[in-house]
Each structure stands twice: as C-alpha cells, then as structure tokens.
Chains A and B, each alone.
Chain A
Amino acid sequence: MKVQLPPKENALYKRIVKCYEHKLYKNGLKFAKQILSQPQFADHAETLAMKGLILNALGRRAEATDLVRRGLKNNLGSSTCWHVYGLIQRSEKKYDEVIKCFRNALKWDPSNLQILRELSLVQIHTRDLIGFRDTRHQLFKIKPTQRASWLGFAISYHLLQDYEMAYKIAEAFTKSCYRDFQPEKRDAMATFEYEKSELYLYQSMILHESGDVGAARKHMLDHSTEITDKITYYETVGKYHLELEEYGQAESVYRKLISFNPDNRFYYDGLMKSLRIEDGTTEKVNVYKEIQVMYPKAGLAKRLALECVDGEEFEALLEPYVINAIFRGAVTLFTDLEPLYKNPQKVEIIENLMIYLIDNMERFGKFEERDVERAPVTSLLWSYYYLAKHYDRLGQTKTALKYIDIAIEHTPTLNDLYICKSKIYKHAGDYPAAVECMNEARDMDTADRYINSKCAKYMMRANLVDDATEILGKFTREGANPIDNLNEMQCMWFLTEAAAAYQRQGRWGEALKKCLEIERHFNDILDDQYDFHTYCIRKMTLRSYVKLLRLEDVLHAHPFYFKAAQIAINVYLYLYDNPLKSQSDEEQLNTENLSPAELKKLRNKQRKAKKKAELEQQSAAAIAGKKDHHQKSKQSSEEGDSHTPSSTDELVPEKLVVEPNPLEQAIRFLKPLQSLAAQKVETHIMAYEIYSRRDKPLLMLRSIRRALKVDSENDVVQKLFASFKEAMAVKVTSLPEPLSEFMCQELDKLGVA
C-alpha cells in the first residue's frame, strides 16, 4: 500500500534521514513518532524503515528488524526500504542477504550511487569478484569524474586476474587525471607525488603479475624519477632484472641497495645471484670481504662469510667473530650461529674454539696467551653461557646444566642465566623445574614483560593455568580480570596454550571455550577489513590493499588457527565417543539403579541403534554414487554454518560440553584447514577420524588418499589405512552398486601404491 506524504510530513521525513546521518537518534525518533502517530500515515513504509534503522543503531535489534520488515511489506517497491533492510542485515553480518536486498533496492532505483557503493563493499568483502566488477562498472559509468570510480574499477579487474584491462584503466587514469594537475600548496604537492608514485608502483605490480616482466621493468625505469619510495623502487627493479637475467644491471642495483643498508640479507642474496656466484665457493667469500672493507660496521657480511667456508678457513674467520661478540657481551651469539649447526664439522670447530678460549681466560685472563690486554671479566661469563646453550642444542642436557651452573656461580645476579637454565629443563621435558627457574628469573626483574610471559607459558605447559593467569595479571590492565583482558587483546598464544593445558587436564568445556574464542578472533580479523575497502582507495595505498585482501583470504592458514582447530576437533571427537550427559539426565538414569558399567552399556546400545538407523538412511541417499563427494561436503558446510554461534553469545563451558552435534562443530573447524592446511598430514588424519564416525566411506577414502600423498611413511596414517581396508572389506558388499565397485577399484589402486 503506497502512501504519499504531503509536504509537511515529507519535510519531517527528510529530517529523520538527516538525524540518522548525524547520529541524532532521539530527534529522529521524535520526528518519526510525529508522522506515525497520525493514523493515515501509521503504515508509511519509509518512515517505519527509518525508525527501524535508528533503533538498530541504538542496539534494539529485534524491534528494528520487525519495524523494517513491516515497512517493506507495506511497500515492496521502495528502494529505500530495501536499502535499509540491507543495512540491518549488514550489522548482523549476513552478507549474502545484504547483497540480495541491495540488488532489490537497485531494481527500483538503478542509479542510486550510495546503494551501488555499499553493494560493491559487501561484494568485495564476500569476494563476489564478478559482482564486484559489475557494480564497479556501473559506478564508473555513472560517475567517471570521481577518482574512486576509476581505481575501484581497475582493482576489480586486477582481482579477477584480467591484467590487461586493469592496466589499461590505471594507465588511462594516470594520463587523464594527472597530466594537468598542478596543486598549489606544499602539503598537497607531497600527497600528489606520493599518490602518483603509488599508482605507478601499482601498475608495475599488475604488469609483473600478468607475467610480462619486461613491460614491468620498462614501466619502472620510465617513471623512475616520479617514484618517491626509493627503497621499494630499487628492490623491485633489482628483482625484475634478475628475472630477466639482466645480471649487469641487477648487480649495480643490489650494490646500491647494500650501500643503503649493508645488514639486509636479501640484498646480499640478490648480489650473489647477479654475480652468478654459486654457493660454497671462494668467490663468495671474496665478495663478502670486499664489502667488509667498504662498510666496516656491516656485521652481516662477516656472518655470511662463515656460511661459505669450511675447515681451517672457517676457523680462521670464526675466531675473531666470536671473540668480538663475547668481548661486547652479545647475549645472542648462540642464536646468531645456530643455523651453522646443520654442519657437524662446524659444530666441532665451534666447540673446540670455545673450550680453548675458556681455558685461556681461566688461566691467563686473556683470550690468547700472547694478548697484551686482559679480557673483560664478563667474557668468561658469556663463554660459559654460550657453551650451556651449545650443549643444550646438541641434546647433552647434563653438560649444558653443568656449564650454566658454573656461569650462575660466577655471576648469580644475571637473570639471562636463569632463563637459559629454564630452557634447558624445558627442552629436556622437565616442566616443573623449568617453571621454578623461570620464576626466579622473573622475580629478579619484574619490569620485564618478556620473562613474565615466558614464565606464564611454562606454567601452562606444566598445567598450572591459574598460576599462569596470576603472573600475567601483573601486566594486564588494572582492575580488569586478566583472562578477560587477554581475550579482549586477542592474545592468541595465551589462548592456545590455555586450551592445550585444559585439554591435557580433561577440562573439555574450558578447552572448547578457548578454541571458540580463537575462532571468533579470526572471524573478527576477517571482518576488520571492511573499512579498508573505501579507505585504501581514498589513500591510494593500492599495493598494500591488494596484499591485505590476499592475506585475509588465507588468514586461517595461520598456525594459531591450526592449533586451536586441532584441539577443538580432538575434544569434539572425544565428546562424541564419550558423551557427557547433563545433570538431570544423569539423575534420571541413576534412579533406575544402574551401575556405571551398565549405564555405559545402555548408552552404547542406544548409540548403536541410532547409528544403524542413520546408516540405513544414508545408504539410500548414497545411491547417487560418485557425485556424493561434492554433495556431502556441501551439505556439511551448510549444516556447519547454521550452528555458528553469534559473536555476542557468551561461551559457557558447561553448555559447550553437552553439545548435541559435536561432529558438525568439528567439521566447521576442519573446513579452513582442508583448503589452507592441506599440506599437513594431521589435517587429513583428523578428517578421516571425523568422517569415519559419520560413516561416509567416500570421504574417508579421500582423506586417506590425501594423507598418503603428504606422508606415506607416517605411522598413524598407516594404522588408519589398515583399519579402513578392514572395515571396507566387510562393508564393501553391503554398499549400493556403483559405490561398491568404485570402492573396490580405489582400494586396489591404493593397495598397489
């Protein structure tokens, strides 16, 4: 029912919209009331919608949604109503719905810039790249004078990997917009130059990704004076020269880069490649020596030289390097030399040298007997410290402890020594002793947050989660519960360690709570990119923007997520196998006077009956044959999504533990791992465990196949494979026809492999 507002009410309506935009919600509601309290306008669609929008901004979600729906029902042809409905959905992160609403809004008002813009944001956020490109095309056609239209348009093609189009658009943009532009003020000039520079770098990126390195290189050289970020310029050009095998030019670029920063490893690598020097030749060492002469303070050149030589040459270079470090009291000498430990010969040389130096210092107080100056007293200390770390690395715990104790006796006030001792215990697996040492170190310097965190981490490894929380509380916000504060700060290492500790102690609910909190943080980080879609285009940081999008695409590949998912899946598997009934149920069954053993039997019986019924259902569904693969994974992902808890629900351990569908929850955690952590054999092992409980033979087969491809020697995989073959040998005849034949074929293939 379309109602038209007379001028007075129309003016009121326009003011409501203004109030919403300026966040004057109370006034907006007042005006809305004025319109809606009049009986002939009580159902005016747009007013209802706007009122709903304001209520949503005030947090009254349920009322808001209700009002907006009413408004929409009253006028399905109102673009405003659809727009508002879309906005409401967006605040609830139901992005697919948002796209539908905005499209509907556009049906009735196809040139509405605001809706188009918002639609494009949601499309890029959900990676609907084709939709994004089309919307951007629209925006470009409607408003070609706006910079963002051009850039958004170019980016949309770039993301779809249509490099030619993207480059053309960007090129046209630079030519037209920048040719005659002359800013007056100084600051504007600086911004203008920065933006132009970024644009050229972005174009170069597009060219490079399209595979035409030659064009990319030419582009960079053509605009070299206009690119203000010199370091990026040289690094990129150097890379291009190497890829095009233009070694002479590459060499001069890398030498220039080294002159900027002689401590950057990548520049040395680049230089070596451009000089065509292979590893392990004296030529390489000579280059390093040459650079040391030019830049005497370049520590990296000396260090890299150690990697290229062996035997006596190595010893000759090593001695002054080590003596210099120990003289300066460099705590990090061991960490610095550790990569050399892959070579046992070098390990021996290092060990002998350290023992020799210690001997000299103990006997003569000097590094070498013939030295005139005495070595500083701390040199002996750091040498003992080095050997402690050295033997720890070689797994000789007793000797390591011996040396660190000598060091502690020499200088008991140095807390680095206690940290080292603690790590020795940790590597040997003795967590309680490690905690004790680390706590002592922490106590000596309570202003050091690193030691505090390490101490808490070791406590958690020793399953002392409460003690750890107390320790961490010394650095979290005043007055706030440490656990809440750490969660708010998205402190992932704490959450993963706590989850693991709870899992070890069998505190399933609390472990799950931590895992779900980690999942939420990852989702929050994904959502955070929303604001950057407009911001980056406005600020012209296009390269970083594209890299951000790509990072967000693989965010769940991060090890923290993997750890959390692994713990969650294993806990859910355990809960599936050993369901914990709630209190009331327990009591009910108890009144039947069953002993615990009988209780377990009864539960097992119940579960088996349930499984049988499910199996019969499934084998009927499995007749579709090979296509099931795709179908089943699609099904489980839909089921998984509907069970995702909204981000504002509180997580209660007791409720998490009696989760009615643990396997579905497990699958939800598994999904990102399957796409992003497929190179880890654990992913496929966990997948197999889940699918075998769901009795999906095809998915089990797929998991086994993938697991074997990653690591065929793995014990666990072999065991699971054997049990799978056994189970299939029994079942294969009872499977419906196309399935059973397929299974036999596949098993034969695997059997031979």
Chain B
Amino acid sequence: MRPRIELGEVTVHNIRQLKRLNTVVFPVSYNDKFYKDVLQAGELARLAYYNDVVVGGVCCRIDTTEGQRRLYIMTLGCLAPYRRCGIGTVMLKHVLNYVEKDGNFDALYLHVQINNDSAIAFYQKFGFNIVETKTSYYKRIEPADAHVLQKNLVKGGSKGSKAVVG
C-alpha cells in the first residue's frame, strides 16, 4: 500500500510546526516577520503530510524586482528520513500549478547553496537552470555562495513549461 502524501494549509494554529520543520531542515534561520508573512501567503504556503504526519513545507512569495513578475521559492524542504519519497515533487508541482493557473508570471526562481547537489539535480529535473552564482550570499554558513536557479515561463499559456499534471 502506497503511503499517502497530502498538502495542508498553514494556519495560526499549526505555524509552530512549520517553524520547527524549517529550523531542522534548513541551515538558515528565519525571523518572526517571515512567519507573519507566511500566514498571509494563502496558497503559496503549504505543509506536506506523509501518512498524516507533518514532514515537509513550502513557502513562496511574489517578487517584482528586476522589472519582472516572478515567483520566489523561499523555502521548500522535508525531514531527512522522508526524502526521496516524492514529497518534494508534490510540493513543487503545487507551486508550478499555481503559476500556470495564474498565467502572469515571467519565471520562478530560488537560491541554493552551491554544494547542495541533490537539490540542484531535483530542480533541474523540472526545467530549472543555474542562471547566476552569488558569492557570499549567506552570512553565517559555509560555503557562503549560492546558485540562482530559475525556470522561465511564457506568459498566458503553458508553452515552454513542463506538463504539470498533479
């Protein structure tokens, strides 16, 4: 029997679980403002459940810098024992569906530590590419450099992006 993987909303009642998750999964810590914004993010923030246990989470925001309307993935991750079970895929597909339905995004992008090979490979599978490398992006961890992974979209249609059937 396959395990059940589901996504759930982030609410004021369970936000602490998201905090706990991020603290364990990511080497970077996020401040209270981050979580305050997450509560307003609606569909852009989701918890991932594996057999009814919270094991992953994704938080995005809409970014309008550099003259473009892009979706920025702030955090996307899951607990170590649950990796390579398809959870990351479910979360990323949710995000990709969101931008396709919206139809008005130029691209999606995120930052990845240059030594995070598994993450880079994961996003490349979905059509993301390394477009830039920022030195000393991170303040308190080593290596401090980060790749920018981006996936460009064609506005108003699904041409150019991978078929995103949930």
Contacts and interface: CB of A to CB of B under 8 A. Distances in A.
B53 A381 contact: yes
Contacts of B85: 377
Interface in A368-413: 376-378, 380-381, 410-413
B13 A378 contact: no
A296 to B, nearest CB: 16
B123 interface: no
Interface stretch (B14-22, B96-104, B138-146): B14-22
A579 interface: no
B16 A443 contact: yes
A137 to B, nearest CB: 61
Given A381-B53, A413-B55, A414-B54, A444 B82 contact: no
A249 B103 CA distance: 72
Contacts of A447: 11, 13-14
A672 interface: no
Interface in A708-750: none
B37 interface: no
A173 interface: no
Contacts of A444: 14, 16-17, 20
Contacts of B20: 412-413, 444
A51 B54 CA distance: 68
B24 to A, nearest CB: 5
Interface in B1-34: 1, 3, 11-14, 16-17, 20-21, 24
B91 to A, nearest CB: 15
B21 A413 contact: yes
Contacts, number: 57
Nearest to A415: B17
Nearest to A417: B53
B132 interface: no
**Most chain B beta-carbon contacts within 10 A, residue among A377, A380, A413, A446:** A413
A380 B14 CA distance: 24
Interface residues of A, number: 18
A327 B2 CA distance: 11
Nearest to B2: A376
Given A410-B81, A413-B21, A413-B53, A378 B16 contact: no
Contacts of A446: 12-14, 16
A377 B79 CA distance: 11
Interface residues of B, number: 21
A447 B11 CA distance: 10
Given A445-B17, A446-B13, A329 B81 contact: no
Nearest to A375: B3
B35 interface: no
Interface string A446-488: 1100000000000000000000000000000000000000000
A692 B85 CA distance: 72
Given A329-B51, A411-B53, A413-B54, A377 B82 contact: yes
Interface string B82-93: 100100000000
Contacts of A376: 3, 50-51
Interface string B65-94: 000000000000001011001000000000
A444 B12 CA distance: 10
Contacts of B82: 377, 411
A376 B85 CA distance: 9
Interface string A312-331: 00000000000000010100
Contacts of A414: 53-54
27 contacts: A329-B53, A376-B3, A376-B51, A377-B3, A377-B85, A378-B50, A378-B51, A378-B53, A380-B81, A410-B79, A410-B81, A411-B81, A411-B82, A412-B21, A412-B24, A413-B17, A413-B21, A414-B53, A414-B54, A444-B14, A444-B16, A444-B17, A445-B14, A445-B17, A446-B12, A446-B14, A447-B13
